[in-house]
């Protein structure tokens, strides 16, 4: 009792403002404890306007994801002879199947039907059924009546007998039978032949723009120079500068140098060609066949 009385007495000894301060302090303590025990401090998720906007679009996003699962990429028609590693992978071919095709093509051979493609690559029937509708072969392959007989043999290791034609007698249709030569390239070959009257060497095919090394090799194995009766020749010792410039191999400056050389040295002989300034030495053998001395 005495201790309680001493507390009360000591409390009464404080001034009025001090007693009020003490009472407020205890009141605050009691209020804080009450809040601690009775208020739920669980974190509440706050959703701002931007989050609300995205949540409103969630249904649309989910719909797009569903559509994306059902999306199938568009496959365009292609020539199976030129399938790359990446293209073959996308089509579902195994590494071994792609390698078989590339090894076959490395021999300068071509597949010309879905059946031959399967025979070379060993792809499964299911994969062939899925991708063969997109195969696109040149028109001349479709029109070749002997294709079906050749494919039925299923022997692609023995190439058929190649009939070598005269390049100077070849028609546009003859040229387009070479795999890789289409409408435009065949026209370029014929236009080049018209410039010279006739080709004198198959090396002149190297100057035809658009011929890949593979197609060039195939062209040279299918054609040869057998006749040059229509070859347009030019007399190098009598032709004027203007006449010389009309010759496909001679530009204006070279034509002038030829005239200067023969003016100073006399008539040009075949052995003098290499002495003329600017003369294309790498083509000297071909050019000489078009010249008269």
Domains delineated in the chain = 80-153 (no CATH), 165-224 (1.10.150), 234-292 (1.10.150)
Per-residue model confidence (pLDDT) at position 51: 66
Per-residue model confidence (pLDDT) at position 8: 57
Per-residue model confidence (pLDDT) at position 70: 56
pLDDT band at 37 (very low <50, low <70, confident <90, very high): confident
Give the tens place of pLDDT for each residue, 203-216.
999 989 888 899 99
Per-residue model confidence (pLDDT) at position 32: 80
Give the tens place of pLDDT for each residue, 182-195.
999 999 999 999 99
Q: Above 90 in pLDDT, residue 258?
A: yes
Per-residue model confidence (pLDDT) at position 55: 64
Give the tens place of pLDDT for each residue, 83-114.
888 888 888 889 889 889 888 888 888 888 88
Per-residue model confidence (pLDDT) at position 185: 93
d(C-alpha 109, C-alpha 121), whole Å: 13
Are 236 and 221 in contact, with CB atoms under 8 Å apart? Answer: no
Burial code of 144-160, b = ≥16 C-beta within 10 A, e = fewer? eeebeeebeeeebeeee
pLDDT band at 16 (very low <50, low <70, confident <90, very high): confident
Per-residue model confidence (pLDDT) at position 268: 93
- Give the chain's radius of gyration (CA, Å): 45
Per-residue model confidence (pLDDT) at position 157: 47
Least confident window among 32-46, 221-235, 244-258, 272-286: 32-46
Backbone angles phi, psi at 276, to 5 degrees: -80, 135
Print the SS3 string covering 135-146: ECCCHHHHHCCC
Question: What is the biggest distance separating any 2 CA atoms in the chain, rounded to whole angstroms?
Answer: 150
Per-residue model confidence (pLDDT) at position 156: 47
Across 57-72, average pLDDT = 62
State percent of the chain over pLDDT 70.
74
Q: Above 60 in pLDDT, residue 149?
A: no
Greater model confidence, 53 or 240: 240
Per-residue model confidence (pLDDT) at position 12: 60
Tokens matching residue 192: 């080049």
Q: Above 70 in pLDDT, residue 284?
A: yes
Per-residue model confidence (pLDDT) at position 7: 60
Per-residue model confidence (pLDDT) at position 107: 84
pLDDT mean across residues, the chain? 81
Per-residue model confidence (pLDDT) at position 143: 58
Per-residue model confidence (pLDDT) at position 152: 46
């Amino acid at each position: 009792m005495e201790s309680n009385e001493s507390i009360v007495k000591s409390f009464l000894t404080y001034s009025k403002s001090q007693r009020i301060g003490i009472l407020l302090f205890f009141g605050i303590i009691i209020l804080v404890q009450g809040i601690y025990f009775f208020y739920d401090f669980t974190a509440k998720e706050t959703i701002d306007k931007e989050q609300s906007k995205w949540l409103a679009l969630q249904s649309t996003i989910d719909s797009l994801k569903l559509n994306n699962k059902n999306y199938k990429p568009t496959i365009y028609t292609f020539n199976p002879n030129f399938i790359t590693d990446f293209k073959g992978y996308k089509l579902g071919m195994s590494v071994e199947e792609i390698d078989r095709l590339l090894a076959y093509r490395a021999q300068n051979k071509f597949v010309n039907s879905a059946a031959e493609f399967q025979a070379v690559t060993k792809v499964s029937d299911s994969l062939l059924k899925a991708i063969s509708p997109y195969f696109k072969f040149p028109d001349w392959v479709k029109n070749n009546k002997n294709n079906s007989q050749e494919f039925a043999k299923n022997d692609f290791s023995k190439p058929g007998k190649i009939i070598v034609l005269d390049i100077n007698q070849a028609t546009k249709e003859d040229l387009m039978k070479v795999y890789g030569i289409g409408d435009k390239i065949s026209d370029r070959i014929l236009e080049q032949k018209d410039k010279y009257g006739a080709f004198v060497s198959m090396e002149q095919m190297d100057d035809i723009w658009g011929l890949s090394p593979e197609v060039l090799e195939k062209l040279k194995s299918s054609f040869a120079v057998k006749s040059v009766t229509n070859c347009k020749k030019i007399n190098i010792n009598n032709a004027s500068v203007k006449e010389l410039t009309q010759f496909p191999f001679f530009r204006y400056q070279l034509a002038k140098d030829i005239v200067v050389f023969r003016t100073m040295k006399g008539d040009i002989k075949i052995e003098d060609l290499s002495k003329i300034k600017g003369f294309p030495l790498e083509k000297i053998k071909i050019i000489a066949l078009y010249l008269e001395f």
